[in-house]
Amino acid sequence: MDNGASSYRRFLDGDDEGIAEIVENYKNGLILYLNGYVNNLFIAEELTEDTFFRLIIKRPRYSGKSAFKTWLYAIGRNVAIDFVRHHSKQLNAPIEDMENYLSEEQSLEQSYIKEERKIAIHKALSNLSVDYRTVLWLVFFEGLSNKEAAIVLKKNERQVRNLLYRAKQSLKSKLEEEGFVYEEQ
């Protein structure tokens, strides 16, 4: 049972925090997915809200035959298809509005990709040894200098530099195993 499924089960058992976790974890991806059906970011946002509303009100049964995300996206797809059927006339919007939609769509897509990259990095970090994970965390996430990290880790600066180098190599290796694609600068 994946994380979304356990959150949904908690929601069904009366824990409202479960639905909040689902919305937080799946909102952006679902908006982008539904935007593919309606080609309008604002409508896709509304359809995403409708999808979550269906979960809250109708409480459909999740059988677990597929991943929770797949099941949720299928519900969203049905919501989008219903919308398209009822609004079969093409929406007329001024060109200026379309430019705004496109820029907001690109911004949302970039933030979604950035979030996915963060998740991949944290997942890879969790697969590293404690020493590697700790030194990377202190230097890159907490912003400590090598000297400050050495004090925390009770090592000398040279040991921290070496540990940091090996930790970065190990992280890079783990990310490449997962198919991580590096941003070009």
Phi first, then psi, for residue 34 (nearest 5°) are -70, -25
Give yes or no: residues 86 and 123 share one domain.
Answer: no
- Confidence (pTM): 0.50
Last residue of a domain, one of 91, 117, 150: 91
Please check whether residue 185 lies inside any domain of the structure: no
How far apart, in Å, are the Cα atoms of 9 and each of 3, 70, 88, 182? 10, 16, 36, 36
Domain count, the chain: 2
137-141: long-range pairs with CB below 8 Å, 24+: 139/164
Pick from 59, 91, 123: which residue ends a domain? 91
Give per-residue pLDDT as tens, 122-178: 778 788 888 888 788 788 877 888 888 888 888 899 999 999 999 999 988 888 887
Range of the domain at 135: 94-180
pLDDT surpasses 70 at 38:
yes
Average confidence (pLDDT) over 13-25: 89
Q: Are residues 53 and 16 in the same domain?
A: yes
- Indicate if 77 and 106 belong to the same structural domain: no
Give the domain-ending residue among 68, 91, 114. Answer: 91
Q: What does 121-174 look like in DSSP terms, one character per residue?
A: HHHHHHTS-HHHHHHHIIIIIS---HHHHHHHHT--HHHHHHHHHHHHHHHHHH
Same domain membership, residue 84 and residue 15: yes
